[in-house]
Amino acid sequence: MIAVDWGTSSFRAWRLAADGAVLDAREAPRGILFVKDGKFAETLRTEIGDWLAAGERHVVMSGMIGSRQGWVEAPYLPCPAGLPDLAMALVRVPFSDADLRLVPGLTCTDAAGVPEVMRGEETQVASTLTEGASVICLPGSHSKWVRARAGRIIDFATCFAGEMFAALRSATILGRMMTDAPIEFAPFDRGVARSGEPGHLLHHLFGVRTLGLMGRLADADSAAYLSGLLIGHEIRAAMPRDTEVDLIGTDALCTLYARAIAACDGRVGAVNAGSAQRGLAMIGERVRWD
Amino acid sequence: MIAVDWGTSSFRAWRLAADGAVLDAREAPRGILFVKDGKFAETLRTEIGDWLAAGERHVVMSGMIGSRQGWVEAPYLPCPAGLPDLAMALVRVPFSDADLRLVPGLTCTDAAGVPEVMRGEETQVASTLTEGASVICLPGSHSKWVRARAGRIIDFATCFAGEMFAALRSATILGRMMTDAPIEFAPFDRGVARSGEPGHLLHHLFGVRTLGLMGRLADADSAAYLSGLLIGHEIRAAMPRDTEVDLIGTDALCTLYARAIAACDGRVGAVNAGSAQRGLAMIGERVRWD
């Protein structure tokens, strides 16, 4: 089968053997944002047409390709949901070259009845589900904190953390002093520590400015400090106290979140035990293909 | 005397009689951001040269004109500080046409030793100081929450609320659906109510997106909802529980803050009892002019 993780900014595909082994892999900057005029079929043929020509007939896709802005909209499946639920709810995409199915996103509501959504992360998380209870954090523009039990995702909460960081950096006075220096651990840790001090996020944010003004935070350190401050606030607010947290994400973000979780008296469990490729393979195993 | 409130974006001046009565007033979009090459003296002559020519010799100025980016830097005066302290700490500006003095900004440190600064607000607040205790909120890009007692500002905390709203609106996915519709009370109140529900700011922010996605928040309402959400979080975190809050700011912001304070079980005291013009006049009365 072919597994495709087709997100907002990138396209990734794997050709998989019957036992799930990766035979070949592709990656391209062809996220749905960069596909013009709905030419998704053409883009798919461009990227993996040779695999289809070689006889692959079964394709499972996850990510924003199933959103309203994607190829076909796959409605959100309500939680709780696990691998069998996702496999049952796949949405067919009309495509002459193969039997093409979309993994739906998931939805739940928070304590006040406000909806939550994810699309793409459910596939990564699904590959790690066990009979026990777990908490999985997927850091990113819109970080997800997922609670799972008995093989199913129970519910989840989104934090507007990564995109907040980018907006504060690009569009406020806090970003004016920031440099392109890489995120160093020392100022990052200082920001995480600050997030635990008296006060609140909106107050702590102004401190990024005053510490710089008073010569107590170097320009080159201020982006790392802000990152630590936001991630620290996110973790203190979103992390359950009584269980370890598994992480799924880029190495850079997982490293930062692991440091911050430890600094906030949390425990990190598995890092990147789950992946889109693995989840797509596991969902694909459960599909009754035509 | 002449009172000048010279901020980042605007310039305001008043010609005052000995009893503080306003004889004349000027306003121009000549904030320090728009004064090129340090031509502050020239700008002042352009705006109020006729008052100087008519014999006014005493000028007191407050605001960002006393910052590092202004005419002369007036160092921050540490709290606690009241009218007499501000009047004692005025900084002279070399200017051939008049005896020109700058009101210093104020500084304090929060519970964790992180510095706080204000510049301009101290003059507005100073005009309202009484022997009793009070809390004054000055909403804006960087809202100030000031505690005063026995005629002095004891300390204050800044909330990065207004600029956060602007950045989220202009530079994130939350702003994409927003319209230029004026802020209506109903969706604003809904955002304030949301700020008191379980969860935290970073989680509630993502709800702006999901409520829109699910058709439960109209595009035209989403800016007002976001404004209420941020102001609600600010008030719940920054407002002391045991005292009423005086407000100083634009009519539009004071109206919104007063609604939100009431919704958060707070009490609003005086609105716009203080002003830069009044504070400058009161400080000017205490100056020993040459």
- Kindly indicate the confidence band of residue A102, based on its pLDDT and cuts at 50, 70 and 90: very high
Check CB contact under 8 Å for A202 and B173.
no
Question: Among partner residues A157, A171, A200, which is closest to B203 by beta-carbon distance?
Answer: A157
In Å, how far is B195's CA from the nearest CA of chain A? 11
- Looking up tokens 């596991």 gives A282
Amino acid letter, residue A277: Q
- How far is the C-alpha of B34 from the C-alpha of B65, rounded, in Å? 12
Residue B290: pLDDT above 90?
no
- Give the residue among A164, A143, A154, A109 at the shortest CA–CA distance from A247: A143
**pLDDT tens column, A109-118:** 999 999 999 9
pLDDT tens for B12-40 read: 999 999 988 999 999 999 999 999 999 99
Please answer whether residues A129 and B211 qualify as being in contact, where contact means their C-beta atoms are separated by less than 8 angstroms.
no
Pairing of β B152-159 and β B143-149: antiparallel
Please write the tens of the pLDDT for every residue from A256-276: 999 999 999 999 999 999 999
* Among the partner residues B199, B203, B210, nearest to A115 by beta-carbon distance: B210
Query: Do residue B110 and residue A157 have CB atoms under 8 angstroms apart?
Result: no
User: What pLDDT is recorded for position A11?
Assistant: 97
Q: Which residues of A touch B (CB under 8 A)?
A: 110-112, 114-117, 142, 157-161, 163-164, 166-168, 170-174, 194, 197-207, 210-211, 213-214, 216, 230, 233-234, 237-238
Q: What is the pLDDT of residue A141?
A: 94
Nearest-CA distance from A83 to chain B in Å?
A: 24
In this predicted structure, the answer to whether residue B242 has a pLDDT above a threshold of 90 is no
Instruction: Tell if the CB–CB gap between A171 and B166 is shorter than 8 Å.
Output: yes
Averaged over A14-29, what is the pLDDT? 95
| pLDDT over threshold 90, residue B142 | yes
Looking at beta carbons, which residues of chain A come within 8 Å of B190?
none
Average pLDDT over residues B267-282: 96
For the residues A128-136, what does the mean pLDDT come to? 93
Helices (H), A179-242: 185-194, 201-213, 219-238
The answer to whether the Cα torsion of B118, B124, B126, B128 is positive or negative is: negative
Is the pLDDT confidence value at B260 over 90? yes
Asked if the model's pLDDT at residue A86 lies above 90, the reply is yes
* Predicted pLDDT of residue A150: 96
CB contact under 8 A, B202 and A161: yes
Q: Which residues of A touch B172 (CB under 8 A)?
A: 160, 163-164, 166-167
What are the structural domains of chain B? Answer: 2-127+278-285 (3.30.420.300), 162-271 (3.30.420.310)
**What was the pLDDT predicted at A14?**
98
Q: What mean pLDDT comes out for the span A72-82?
A: 97
Q: How confident is residue A177, by pLDDT bands cut at 50, 70 and 90?
A: confident
Statement: residue B230 has pLDDT above 90: yes
Mean pLDDT of chain B: 96
Chain A residue with Cα closest to B67: A213
Task: Return the pLDDT at B261.
Answer: 98
Q: What percent of chain B has pLDDT over 70?
A: 100
Q: Which of chain A's residues have a Cβ under 8 Å away from the Cβ of B202?
A: 159-161, 164, 201, 230, 233-234, 237-238
Say if residue B164's pLDDT is above 90. yes
Decide if pLDDT at B225 tops 90: yes
Distance, in Å, from the CA atom of A91 to the CA atom of A283, rounded to the nearest integer, reads 13
Residue B177 pLDDT: 86
> What pLDDT sits at residue A181?
87
Nearest CA in chain A to B168: A167
Residues B197-216, mean pLDDT to the nearest whole number: 96
Q: Note the pLDDT of residue B275.
A: 95
Give the per-residue pLDDT at A290: 85
Determine which of A9, A73, A164 to mutate to test the interface with B (most B C-beta atoms within 10 Å). Answer: A164
Q: For residues B50-69, b (16+ Cβ closer than 10 Å) or e, as one string?
A: ebbeeebebbbbbbbbbbee
Kindly state the tokens that stand for A140: 């990113």
Mark yes or no for CB contact A160/B202 under 8 Å: yes
Residue A111 with chain B: CB contacts under 8 Å: 197-199
- Residues of B with a Cβ under 8 Å from any A Cβ are 110-112, 114-117, 142, 157-161, 163-164, 166-168, 170-174, 194, 197-207, 210-211, 213-214, 216, 230, 233-234, 237-238
- Test the B interface: residue of A64, A68, A76, A114 with most B CBs within 10 Å: A114
- CB contact under 8 Å between B164 and A234, yes or no, is no
How far CA A175 is from CA of A164, A167, A276, B35, B257, in Å, comes to 12, 9, 33, 23, 27
Asked if residues A233 and B205 have their Cβ atoms less than 8 Å apart, the reply is no
Q: How many cross-chain Cβ pairs, A to B, lie less than 8 Å apart?
A: 143
The answer for residues whose C-beta is within 8 angstroms of residue A19's C-beta and 6 or more apart is none
